[in-house]
Chains A and B, each alone.
Chain A
């Protein structure tokens, strides 16, 4: 019972007004990835960067909601084909969020693990949806052509869909994770500290290199200030207002 209550509390902490405002912006970052790709003529989607950044800032469930909303938005505005893939985005958000909470986003080997995990989750869930909801192809991108080529060669729909999904995702998620990691390292500490995952970045887990340097610089004159801050927090709560 107490465990459940603490989970609900954690969930509530993730969905503060700040996170609520962050979600549409992350959806925007996800969607701007597509614009970026067409701007630079890259054969990618880059539609999970916002989800990954939110996973670092606000945690798994906010990231999951970001993924869900991204696909709902795409379904309504661009093409309803995107709607069933909301499940994929939700799973990617959860995976990245829990890995970020475990500190994977703070070291280079962790980034590789995030890349592989997100690729696998995305490829498996997306190919299940492509095969069982759409019968193998959605026709909205070049992947369908690759799938069709695999079908002719392998004579098996599910295997072909999975093969083309894994190829496409290894590349796309690799670059997305790398960009998200670069951005995450550069987000100022002042902004990070407002979100639910602030504790992770502030001390519970090793922090990113960018923040490491910042910490070293600030360590001497910042320590006293931090202590004062904690004292102030004790008698002051947003909910009481």
Chain B
């Protein structure tokens, strides 16, 4: 996510990369919300299928399918067992497993939860693959996000790979000095402090330098608008995408109201 995608018009995912980052985030959130609101798992399932199609068209099918199936199957089985067999709402029995009976209401609930989770998981995956975080934050700041909040998001994303590298260095140093990383669980728990301690201490020293740097750059001054080097992309497809997602959400809310009122038999 933190890497900047190379601007290549011939790449298969060029269309998705060229979209405005905020538009992508907004559509993922709105579609996910729609699949929560819609009174049956069908909408979520349709969105998941659409995401699969999109991933395939963009050339990400293999990693996308690996992620979705790797997460989806265990959680589906677990929820079917817990909700399908033991939900207090179960009235209609659809199958007898011997040790427990599978109820229709719990099964539907489990399936709705799973498709909603998959909608968010798949949507965010495609967004992450095709969005440079710096551009997203620059866009959000232009749209009125306080620069301090933008800094928090961006710095959190940047600091993690940096700390992982530092951790690897410290691990090698400590092992060279005789730290035992194997053995029983107690000695392994003990090994956490010599590994984590230096990372934390050097990061705190780093924090001091960063804050001085930010202040010399005038980051804490609020009188003037902050500028950015990052160019934010806008595409003609941005608006139709967000509007289409919003329409799906509105229809889902309508379907939910109709279902609660008893008009729609879902």
Contact = CB atoms under 8 A, between A and B. Distances in A.
Genuine A/B complex: yes
Interface string A124-143: 00000000001111111000
B5 interface: no
Interface string A72-85: 11011101110100
Contacts of A73: 156-157, 160
A53 to B, nearest CB: 7
Residue of A75, A136, A155, A175 most packed against chain B (CB within 10 A):
A136
B93 interface: no
Interface string B183-196: 00100110111011
Interface string B244-256: 0000000000000
9 contacts: A17-B220, A21-B155, A25-B207, A36-B195, A75-B124, A76-B124, A80-B120, A139-B76, A151-B85
Interface in A1-54: 17-18, 20-25, 27-29, 31-33, 35-36, 39-42, 46, 49, 53
A157 B151 CA distance: 41
Nearest to B195: A36
B211 interface: yes
A119 B220 CA distance: 37
Contacts of A24: 151-152, 155-156, 158-159
A66 B200 CA distance: 15
Contacts of B63: none
Nearest to B70: A139
Contacts of B155: 21, 23-24
A24 B155 CA distance: 6
B82 A137 contact: yes
B78 A137 contact: yes
A43 B82 CA distance: 23
B259 interface: no
Nearest to B122: A80
Given A28-B203, A151-B86, A139 B196 contact: no
A187 to B, nearest CB: 7
Interface of A: 17-18, 20-25, 27-29, 31-33, 35-36, 39-42, 46, 49, 53, 65, 69, 72-73, 75-77, 79-81, 83, 134-140, 144-145, 147-148, 151-152, 155-157, 160, 175, 179, 182-183, 186-188, 191, 194
Interface in B186-242: 188-189, 191-193, 195-197, 199-201, 203-208, 210-211, 214-215, 219-220
Residue of A40, A138, A152 most packed against chain B (CB within 10 A):
A40
A139 B160 CA distance: 24
B196 A32 contact: yes
Contacts of A40: 181, 188-189, 191-192, 195
Given A53-B200, A135-B109, A151 B156 contact: no
Interface stretch (B14-22, B39-47, B137-145, B163-171): B163-171
Nearest to B78: A137
Contacts of B196: 29, 32-33, 36, 49, 179, 183
A76 B28 CA distance: 11
B243 to A, nearest CB: 23
A18 B121 contact: no
Contacts of B85: 151
A17 B214 contact: yes
B222 to A, nearest CB: 11
B159 A46 contact: no
Given A24-B159, A157-B82, A157-B86, A137 B151 contact: no
Given A18-B207, A35-B164, A79 B121 contact: yes
B192 A179 contact: yes
Contact of A29 (B75, B162, B203): B203
Given A32-B160, A39-B195, A42-B188, 14 more contacts: A21-B155, A29-B163, A29-B196, A39-B167, A69-B152, A72-B153, A137-B79, A145-B78, A148-B78, A148-B82, A157-B83, A157-B86, A160-B82, A179-B192
Given A46-B192, A136-B83, A186-B197, A28 B204 contact: no
Residue of A25, A53, A75, A188 most packed against chain B (CB within 10 A):
A25
B153 A69 contact: yes
B128 to A, nearest CB: 7
A33 B200 CA distance: 11
B71 A35 contact: no
Contact of B82 (A20, A25, A42, A136): A136
Given A17-B219, A42-B189, A25 B75 contact: no
A70 to B, nearest CB: 8
A182 B196 CA distance: 10
Nearest to B2: A77
